[in-house]
Structure 1
Amino acid sequence: MAKLWQKENQTTDAKIEKFTIGNDPVYDLQLARYDVLGSLAHITMLEKVGLLGADELGPLCAELKAIYAQIEAGDFTIEDGMEDVHSQIEYLLTQKLGDQGKKIHAGRSRNDQVLVDLKLFMRAEIQHIADAVERLFDLLIAKSEAHKNDLLPGYTHLQIAMPSSFGLWFGAYAESLVEDIELLEAAFRLANKNPLGSGAGYGSSFPLDRKYTTELLGFESPHVNVVNAQLSRGKTELYVLTAIAQIATTLSKLAMDVCLYNSQNFGFIELPSSLTTGSSIMPHKKNPDVAELLRGKANKLKALPNQLQLLTSNLPSGYHREFQLTKELLMPAIEEILDGLEITHYMVSHLKVKKDLLVDSKYDLLFSVEEVNKLVVQGVPFREAYQIVGKKIEDGAFDGSTREINHSHLGSIGNLGLAEIQDQKEIAWKRFGFEKVNKAIAALIS
């Protein structure tokens, strides 16, 4: 089949074609619905500026919406010999409408076509990620409230340090996710800019209305400079992968805590059988394989921003074929982080917190700081109080059996600040503006 770029009587060696196309048809299936949306906006604009007749717009829109329904039903395929999703959709249109179907490419290059597809794809997937993070956040806040009075040893350098609580532990990861979302929101801002109309990176002599397509697709604004629109290729993916890597960092640290806390030497939590596996030789083993695999998969995601940086390094302005390979980093990463968020939600939902951990005498020294602070309240200078308690510990005379804790400041054991964390979360989520995007897309395909 002829390619969109192919000249008459020109052929392509099969080996070269296989190398250059690579896995694009597989990943392009994920872009299909967005290619239709971009085409709907583009031809609606072409009719507005007089480059397409009103009698032509109706049939084209009807066929594109039929293809969209086919994609949503899971019945859309990219046929053998078809180079990419753009070729497949244009081919389907020409099969139905003849030369009319060929008119959808006027004023457009495959460069800005794939750019708008990717922007729309990333924008939609960011919403899915944000939804999954929100579900995990809500669970962590609920767990924090439920276990605010269940004390837990706090560690520095993996040495017992000061009293903590499960409320503090769950709440810490909830707030960490809010901070991760702020990075994801920055990625959304860049994904929510319209590159359509930039062509191959140098615009068009057609009187394209780029503000109109921006409105139709629900973008916040266009990439104003057409060269910069092309510069956003790779850059937008990097923003998204960096945000994914940061969420993965939070999940990895939580998974590591679960591995530690589930071990017999810590014994702070208990995992159900569904989250553990046994040993082929040791009948007592309940290995936290799910948490370990979560930790490993999250750590792999953390490497992706560096891979993308290396892939696109030293490239001058304009389009280069290396950008095709960014899909192979981006699309699996989105699937992995969504799976990771789902399994983390399941794990946190089902882990069992053990009560009364700090009654054990081995945790007496956790309360040494409380003793120092008591002396300070009585008027003893802090450094002197520190030395007094330190001498008692050294002499084996320290009594930490009282287990008194008087933490009342914001964000401490006695004042978790969950309402404040919830407020931060609400502010962060509102900044996305998903409602405007969803309303525009719904109008476009209605």
Structure 2
Amino acid sequence: MIHNMEYETMPREALEAIQLRRLQSTLEKVYATVPFYRRKFQEVGITPADIKSLRDLRRLPFTYKQDLRDNYPYGMFAVPMDNVVRIHASSGTTGKPTVVGYTARDILTWSELMARALAAGGASRGDIIHNAYGYGLFTGGLGIHYGAERLGASVIPISGGNTKRQIMIMKDFAPTILTCTPSYALHLAEVAREVGVDFKDLHFKSGIFGAEPWSEQMREEIERKLHLNALDIYGLSEVIGPGVSIECLEAKKGLHIFEDHFIPEIIDPVTGENLPHGEKGELVFTSITKEAFPIIRYRTRDVTSLNAEPCICGRTHIRMHRVSGRTDDMLIIRGVNVFPSQIESVLMETEGVEPHYQLVVDREDNLDILTVLVEVGELLFSDEVRRLQQLEKAIAKNIKEYLGVSAKVKLVEPKSIARSEGKAVRVIDNRKI
């Protein structure tokens, strides 16, 4: 279902005209109201008047996460605080969190985008949405919530945690759409099995999963265990929150970016040069409708590519490939770039292992050592030691052939890897780099 037919199916020429007009307006605003941007533009000798085409966008300087931290908490806001009705912040694993603000109009925009996203995932006015994303400073829970209400659907604001109670709610309230992280979706399936509930007896038709990279193999695992259509959604607090892009139910081949609100670019993460459609690189976003917290050429650190080919669903907005990892959580093991999702792809093709894993990196005698911890099922773990050792060797061989990096593989007993109600902790890097 297409929520906003006018904008989501707009001819390319008309869409780009809207983008340019909104971009120019945004640049004028940040130049006048955000000292950081005015200084950055002046440093490269550019004013908003110099941006006469969408191609000129690449002349502007990048914005980095550190810039947001340097202007903590409100230095990047483009409106007075009495116009800000909502404040969110990133979880921030290091240093101070990044703080973002919303005007009342920003909240309406966000709600509209999330309504579009939910509709693309198969939701409509008659659906009940079980929202297990976290509520609070994290944008996930409230983003989904407001989008569901804008769509006219019913929303269960269950948030994360208390998983057995969530299973009870699923049985009793009969929700039809599930929203959470993909790793938590698998945890829900695991707990449901423990308490004797089969997802095929529930009422879910679609699940909208995001906030962490996940593979096609994990999609297949989720769909098999939860008996629903699993769709990838993308967003980040610095741009607006969830609702920047989403897969459509019809194709499930790339996430449609809502280009009437965000302009995407793909750059070489080392040189900063723009890359053509189809080439993989770092995703960069410029927001063109945000009032409180507009952002210019923000380097997301997410690795993906863009696809401008028409989609069978009828949407004309460009698609991004699912995020394969991040340039800043990418592991470099003896000169080889390794993303957790690549390891996951190998594991998900291995019979007998569970979709719960962790990568541990150590440094011994100046050499990097990668250890892959992966859970196995109850039956396999109780099998003879020799068979487990053979499986470890087989997985290590597959990782070597697929990624070109040697890894130690250690099979561990079921439920020994810590579960997460939010983003799964996939990497433990013990190196002092």
Q: TM-score, normalised by structure 2?
A: 0.22
Q: Which of the pair has the greater relative contact order for Cα pairs under 8 Å at 6+ separation?
A: 1
TM-score normalised to the size of structure 1?
0.22
More helix by share: 1
More strand by share: 2
